[in-house]
Amino acid sequence: MIHIDRYAYRSKLKKTDPVQKLFFAVLTLGMCLWADSNVISAAVLVLMGGITVFRGGTSLYFLMKLLAIPMSFLLVGVLTVAVKISEDPGIMLVSLPMAGVWVGISQQGLRDAGRLFLKALGSVTCLYYLSLSTPLVDMLSAFKRIGVPKLMVEMMGLVYRFIFVLFETAETIFNSQNSRLGYASLNSGYRSLGGLASTLFIRAYRRSDELYTALEARGYDGELNVLEEPYQRHWAGYFAPLAVNIILIVITLLLRQYEGGRLG
């Protein structure tokens, strides 16, 4: 996740208004889930992946690597959909008899599994588009603008900022323990880990105290009022995603009619 953030800072889409990007990603994600069609899922995959790579400048290799992360979960999940139990071996492509029933893969099961697989991949690409083009700080400002409670946004911001400080502190303590053989045996390892956890807690508490003092020195009065850097904002930023999604919805409806007609 920390890695993704670094790519987001480098993206050429970083300067684009985060609300627009959020709008585009969530709308397309919803549409992809609603359409539930192979063609549309593949289209979303190509569209969002294409924008991330060509407009955002993220390398295709890195995007592929990211898409490989959910693959293992996806394959296991999809496999359970594909495998069916039936008393009729006729509908199965491959099957094994097991305790009086047939366990195997049917054509319908395979089709369902494929559709689910593509749908999930398409949806994940929507989220990758967002996270590879929008650093968390920008995301928070988008949340603030669309009306998420301010306190929650502030908390998320502070957590994000201080997670890195906490990591650093933990690493320093761990290294200093380790260089004094704190983790040489299992026993001392447990003892050291306990010390690390409690020290970390105390340090975090102290730091929050210091942070409050420092904020107070700059006139803190209960709200973290800050200015964001100006974003590139244009109405077309909302229009284009809307248009794309309308086109995709129309295609879905046409496909449904066509398939419905063929089946009927």
Partner 1 sequence: MNETILEVKDLHYIYADGTHALKGINLKIPRGKTTAVLGGNGAGKSTLFMNFNGILKPTSGQVIFDGKAVDYSHKGLKELRRAVGLVFQDPDSQLFSASVYQDVSFGPMNLRLPEQEVRRRVELGLERTGILDLKDKPTHCLSFGQKKRAAIAGVLAMEPEVLVLDEPTGGLDPMGVSGVMKLLKETQEQLGISVVMSTHDIDIVPLYCDYVYVMDRGNVCIEGTPKQVFSQPDALRRVHLRLPRVAHLMEILQREDAFDFCDTAATISQARKALKSVSRGWSF
In the complex, the residues that contact partner 1 under the rule CB under 8 A are 5-6, 9, 14, 135-137, 157-158, 160-161, 164-165, 207, 210-211, 213-221, 224-229
Nearer to partner 1, 165 or 253 (CB): 165
Q: Is the dihedral of CA 79, 80, 85, 90 positive or negative?
A: negative
d(CA 83, CA 118): 17
Closer residue to partner 1 in complex, CB, 175/208:
208
Q: Output the smallest distance, CB 63 to partner 1, in A.
A: 21
**Rounded-to-integer distance, Cα 203 and Cα 174, Å:** 14
CB of 50 to partner 1, least distance (A): 25
> Cβ 131 to partner 1, closest distance in Å?
14
Q: Which of 76/227 has CB closer to partner 1?
A: 227
**From the CB of 129, what's the least distance to partner 1, in Å?**
20
CB of residue 225 to partner 1, shortest distance in Å:
4
Could you give the count of Cα atoms lying within 13 Å of 98 in the half-sphere of its Cβ?
A: 8
Report the C-alpha gap between 179 and 214 in whole angstroms: 34
- The nearest distance, CB 148 to partner 1, in angstroms, is 17
Nearer to partner 1, 32 or 139 (CB): 139
| Closest by CA position to 48, among listed 71, 36, 31 | 31
Instruction: Tell me the residue length of the chain.
Output: 264
Long-range contact set of residues 254-257: C-beta below 8 Å, sequence gap at least 24: 255/37, 255/39, 255/40, 256/37
Pick 218 or 262: Cβ nearer partner 1: 218
Mark 223-260 as b/e (b = at least 16 C-beta within 10 Å). eeeeeeeebeeeeebbeebeebbeebeeebeeeeeeee
| Residue located via tokens 């323990």 | 177
Choose between 225 and 232: whose C-beta lies nearer to partner 1.
Answer: 225
Q: How near is the Cβ of 203 to partner 1 at its closest, in Å? A: 11
Is 71 or 215 the residue whose CB approaches partner 1 more closely?
215
